[in-house]
Amino acid sequence: MENRTLSFHPDAVEEAEAARDWYASRSERTATRFLAELERAFERIVATPKQWPPHMRGTRFFKLRRFPYLVVYKESERAVWVVAVAHGRRKPGYWKKRL
């Protein structure tokens, strides 16, 4: 299997940071767990991007297990582009304009 690169839309980075900050304001331990789960999600997505279900506009999504967030991404032969780190219960599809 060929290694894929992982890249992020700048707004996806901001979303992940905002979520981390929100959790940290309540519990640093929970914030650390959130980041660890997010990192595991990125690793799994890069390793097997087709494993997760198709979503809107040619994207796929990975749902975090312990947190209400989705990692929305597009994949190509050599790269995975994270479009959004979206709260699963707020404003579905708001990130579509990023495509």
Q: What angle do CA 22, 18, 93 make, to 5 degrees?
A: 115
pLDDT at residue 5 greater than cutoff 80: yes
Domain boundaries in the chain? 5-89
* Structure-block tokens of residue 33: 């767990």
Q: How far apart are CA 92 and CA 87, in angstroms?
A: 8
| Top-confidence residue, 82 or 57 | 82
The fraction of the chain above a pLDDT of 70, given in percent, is 98
**Mean pLDDT confidence for 65-91:** 93
Confidence category of residue 91, pLDDT binned at 50, 70, 90 = confident
* pTM as predicted: 0.91
Q: Tell me what pLDDT residue 89 has.
A: 86
Nearest-angstrom CA–CA distance, 84 and 98: 9
CB 6 within 8 A of CB 20: no
Q: What homologous superfamily does CATH list for 5-89?
A: RelE-like (3.30.2310.20)
